[in-house]
Structure 1
Amino acid sequence: MADAERRWCFADQLGPHFLDGGDQPVLLVESRAVLRRRRFHRQKAHLLLSALRHRAAELGEQAVFLRTDTYRQALGRVKEPLSVCGPTSRAAAAFVRGLDGVTVLPSRGFATSREEFEEWAGGRDSLLMESFYRRARVLTGTLVDGDEAPAGGKWNLDKENREPPPRDGRLPLPGPYRPEEDEIDEEVRADLDAAEADGEVSFVGRDGPRRFPATRAEALAALDHFVEHRLAGFGPYEDAMLSGDPAMSHSLLSAAMNLGLLDPAECAAAAETAWREGRVPLRSAEGYIRQLIGWRDYMWHTYWHFGRAYARSNALRARRRLPRWFAELDADSVRAHCLSSVLRDVRDRGWTHHIPRLMVLGNYALQRGWHPAAVSDWFHRCFVDGYEWVMAGNVIGMSQYADGGRITTKPYAAGGAYINRMSDFCQDCVYRPTARTGDDACPYTAGYWWFLARNEERLADNWRLAPQLRNLDRIEDLDEVVARERHRKRP
């Protein structure tokens, strides 16, 4: 690399691991056009701009920081050659590859490389995450002992990590790390207010105090706080939900990782060290590490592996539009306690952990037959950690089963019984989780049977759903359930 080459870092490449030396010259660009392309959550826009401007302030004269309408305008003001780590979206990757004078390097910020994934995937009929996760453990040497043996004797302790929440509705844990806002945050908020007042941009969700790291120092402090105070409780309750505790025992580090402030490998190493030093149980360390070098890397690799057409997958022929109350995060108009609570968390925080995303938000969208691409776009825009590569596999594949089972073995559809077992939502709800008909019929319970009835032929070959599909013929009031749910305006 020539000495004069400057490293162009996108707003999700803000950590030191995107540079090849501490004194490497840097280019940072704040593009106004990015916020006009989609109607993002207000707190997502604030976090992104805050992190970018904080990084520019940290680097000082080492960085050229340009605020322009488009990236191309900014590049026109840079005369020296540039290098850039592979971007995280296909559109950005195609853009940088088409530029003269820009060297495109392999992507960074993931525990395994795309070449390693393709070598593993080659010739396989099934690309299940669990198999990749085991390979990633070996490749990275994470939680591995001896001759490629899993630490503790098992690769996956997920069966030990499915406990319902405590009956008293509280986890005995300190709260998550909270950063303190500064003058840069104030400046960003004022700029967003002005842009919105001028009609230049429009947002969903509510503004609020910044809850997620915007600097490397904050991200490291948040990681230390999680490992020291919250990781031990992560394993048992990682699939549980509480209406009064949207964070539960989760790390809230996904946004920092997706901004490039943390490398997932260092987070996994911190969790493994905590286990080997006897500070956390193995099931918590393994459960967290599986989310990082297993699921997160897997989502990244499948985004590129399956190609552009994957985002348009619609195996279940779901074509309904997102209702306005959902698109606008109108939690107060929803009666179902679980959905109202989770939608309120998204409205007020731009975040909720992975089980409400999958089993409350995604589950409801799947049951109703909303168009999967629209659901994926909604998650992308409304979550502070949402990116195109994140939502392709998580929403199109896992949540909406629109890929027909390329990465999961069954649709993640469930009735009210699941939500009742894994949360306290049903205690104060106007609906009964066991009822599928009547005025107090749970929209998830009734919706589950409507989903199966609507997709009976398409799911006929799915062995995991065979018992439930056989039960369709035994439900005497199925026609009533289907008719009611088809015309339900809101839960």
Structure 2
Amino acid sequence: MATPHWLFGDQLGPGFLAPGDGGPARDAPVVMVEARSVFRRRRFHRAKAHLVLSAMRHRAAELGDRVRYVRAETYREGLRAAVGEGPLTVCHPTSRAALALVRSLPGVTVLPPRGFLVAHEDFRAWADGHGGQRLRQEDFYRWVRRTHDLLMDGDGPAGGRWNHDHDNREPPPRGATALDVPAPYRPREDDVDDEVRHDLDRWEREGIRFVGRDGPRRFPATRREALAALRRFVEHRLAAFGPYEDAMLAGDPVMSHSLLSSSLNLGLLDPAECVERAEAAWRSGGAPVNSVEGFVRQIAGWREYVWQLYWYFGEEYRHRNALGHRAPLPGWFLELDAGAVTARCLATVLAQVRDTGWTHHIPRLMLLGSHALQRGWDPAAVTDWFHRCFVDGYDWVMLPNVVGMSQYADGGRMTTKPYTSGGSYVHRMSDLCGPCAYRPDRRVGEDACPFTAGYWAFLHRHRDRLERNPRMTRAVHGLDRLSDLNALLHQERHRGDQPP
């Protein structure tokens, strides 16, 4: 009999059971463990718990008699019930904690990772060749494009440029409340979802706590649904994606984004098929090159880069705190209490997270992350919050994104500067400032924008470090022109952790 193969809850696509290249035998029995302890240890968003459990149970139903699906308190208990002390294979897990677990178990053979474009050893060779310290995403992205022949015309980039960011930073159309694009794919719930929701209700009565709201399910839980979502995005939404990928509208949180990150991170989609379909759309005239390049950059560039850095930087990276930020996350943020927040931009995005467990990358970085950075919140706590509260959040996703990109806690190992701004950026890239009680051009007073005031207070707090950064020198020297700096700093000291 073939050695059983263990599937984690983020290894749900067919590629994780495909034979060859060290994979499981074609007829290998499958083991899946639903470990309730995962939800006891951390307070996850309920929509995220629902999605993961629904996806796992749907996959088990597809596998039928081939799978032994065990519901247990811990993974160890579940594995003992499923296979005893027998041998197992498992694809390389996506977190360090999971990898440590499988390596601690007798008889478990860890196979190479699946679901990514670049092998760890290939990335390590590339990174070591670049000195191993300042590993820029743009350099990595071009290397991936070349080595995988992605969006290339011979030896050069398709469309003549590697980077179309200049064309992909448009503010939202003036006066629009939503982009004029077809709606994204929406799955239909079924009996499995009803069972999951019933179980989550029971777990809450038994003391397991969640945050946020659950339902209706917005993201694919099966391979069929994920493929339908990919097809709808490529055929109907990709063309409009590029120009407005950084824009925000209060009434349109989705804009023209793909909503495929959770499907990729559950293993329901493979990154290669996503970028190849996007490239095919450009070559057939179905989407402009700037939109396709922006999408390819998100997957073959940023997603792949973050996955590789998670492993390359090592466990110590988790504890980086170059700016010495120690403030705890306030209760209103932890509880996703959008109603407590006056600042319209932050209240709008916090409500999106509360209601769906998702918002796109600019609200994550330039609103949620930027506010945390300006307030000096502990980057480890911010990382944990993003991990728990987003349907696409996993340890490997959020650790580099938050520690490196959002909170600059690695001191510049991943990015060249802190990503934060005053209210003028939010005003330019959204419709969120108009009806707000605060004004984006005000630093001091009752109508002072918390992002504008917070930006200058952040620069002042870290002036010694930031003025040595060539990309920040001019901004830091702007402090010398502020006649109301003392009043601003007094105002920010007394704001504390009150909701803005």
What TM-score does the superposition give when structure 2 sets the normalisation length? 0.96
Note the C-alpha offset of 1:23.
4.5
Q: Does 1:90 align with 2:88?
A: no
Note the C-alpha offset of 1:119.
1.1
Match of 1:49 in 2: 53
Match of 2:66 in 1: 62
Task: In structure 1, give the amino acid aligned to 2:183.
Answer: G
Please point out which of 130, 138, 141 is paired with 1:133. 141
- For 1:95-106, list aligned pairs within 5 A: 95-106=101-112
Task: In structure 1, give the amino acid aligned to 2:3.
Answer: E
The 3-state SS of whatever aligns with 1:472 is helix
Distance (Å, rounded) in 2 between the aligned partners of 1:219 and 1:23: 25
Distance (Å, rounded) in 1 between the aligned partners of 2:160 and 2:413: 29
- For 1:194-233, list aligned pairs within 5 A: 194-199=202-207, 201-233=208-240
Q: Which runs of 5+ in 1 are unaligned?
A: none
Note the C-alpha offset of 1:311.
1.1
Distance (Å, rounded) in 1 between the aligned partners of 2:392 and 2:139: 26
Q: Does 1:71 align with 2:71?
A: no
Q: Which runs of 5+ in 2 are unaligned?
A: 20-25
Q: Which moved more, 1:61-70 or 1:17-26?
A: 17-26
Distance (Å, rounded) in 2 between the aligned partners of 1:332 and 1:390: 28
The 3-state SS of whatever aligns with 1:302 is helix
Note the C-alpha offset of 1:25.
2.2
CA contact (8 A) 1:86 1:104 kept: yes
CA contact (8 A) 1:437 1:481 kept: yes
Note the C-alpha offset of 1:393.
1.1
The 3-state SS of whatever aligns with 1:314 is coil
Q: Which moved more, 1:23-32 or 1:339-348?
A: 23-32
- For 1:341-380, list aligned pairs within 5 A: 341-380=348-387
Q: Does 1:189 align with 2:197?
A: yes
Task: In structure 1, give the amino acid aligned to 2:254.
Answer: A
- Count matched residues: 487
Distance (Å, rounded) in 2 between the aligned partners of 1:460 and 1:314: 19
- For 1:107-256, list aligned pairs within 5 A: 107-125=113-131, 126-146=134-154, 148-167=155-174, 168-199=176-207, 201-256=208-263
Q: Deviations over 1:416-464 (max 9, x none)?
A: 0000000000011000000001110000000000000001012121111
Task: In structure 1, give the amino acid aligned to 2:166.
Answer: K
Distance (Å, rounded) in 2 between the aligned partners of 1:272 and 1:490: 44
Task: In structure 1, give the amino acid aligned to 2:334.
Answer: A
Task: In structure 1, give the amino acid aligned to 2:70.
Answer: L
Distance (Å, rounded) in 1 between the aligned partners of 2:51 and 2:238: 24
Q: Which moved more, 1:476-485 or 1:320-329?
A: 476-485
CA contact (8 A) 1:212 1:256 kept: yes
Q: Does 1:19 align with 2:25?
A: no
Distance (Å, rounded) in 1 between the aligned partners of 2:150 and 2:105: 38
CA contact (8 A) 1:111 1:297 kept: yes
Match of 1:490 in 2: 499
Q: 1:137 to 1:86 in 2, by over 3 A?
A: same
Note the C-alpha offset of 1:139.
1.7
Distance (Å, rounded) in 1 between the aligned partners of 2:435 and 2:165: 29
Q: Deviations over 1:135-171 (max 9, x none)?
A: 011121111221x321122111111100000112221
Distance (Å, rounded) in 2 between the aligned partners of 1:81 and 1:371: 42
The 3-state SS of whatever aligns with 1:65 is strand
Q: Does 1:38 align with 2:42?
A: yes
Q: Does 1:307 align with 2:314?
A: yes
Q: Does 1:268 align with 2:283?
A: no
CA contact (8 A) 2:2 2:27 kept: no
Task: In structure 2, give the amino acid aligned to 1:274.
Answer: A
What TM-score does the superposition give when structure 1 sets the normalisation length? 0.98
Match of 1:481 in 2: 488
The 3-state SS of whatever aligns with 1:457 is helix
CA contact (8 A) 1:459 1:465 kept: yes
Please point out which of 1, 4, 26 is paired with 2:2. 4
The 3-state SS of whatever aligns with 2:71 is strand
Q: Deviations over 1:379-425 (max 9, x none)?
A: 00000000011011111100000000011111001000000000000
Note the C-alpha offset of 1:7.
1.4
Note the C-alpha offset of 1:100.
1.5
Q: Deviations over 1:38-81 (max 9, x none)?
A: 00001000001000000000100011111111111122130442
Task: In structure 2, give the amino acid aligned to 1:87.
Answer: P
CA contact (8 A) 1:342 1:352 kept: yes
Distance (Å, rounded) in 1 between the aligned partners of 2:323 and 2:438: 28
Quote the RMSD (CA, aligned, Å).
Answer: 1.0
Match of 1:438 in 2: 445
Task: In structure 2, give the amino acid aligned to 1:182.
Answer: D
Note the C-alpha offset of 1:299.
0.4
CA contact (8 A) 2:2 2:28 kept: no
Q: 1:144 to 1:24 in 2, by over 3 A?
A: farther
After TM superposition, where is structure 1 displaced by more than 6 Å over at least 4 residues in a row? none
The 3-state SS of whatever aligns with 1:51 is helix
Task: In structure 2, give the amino acid aligned to 1:105.
Answer: L
Task: In structure 2, give the amino acid aligned to 1:119.
Answer: A
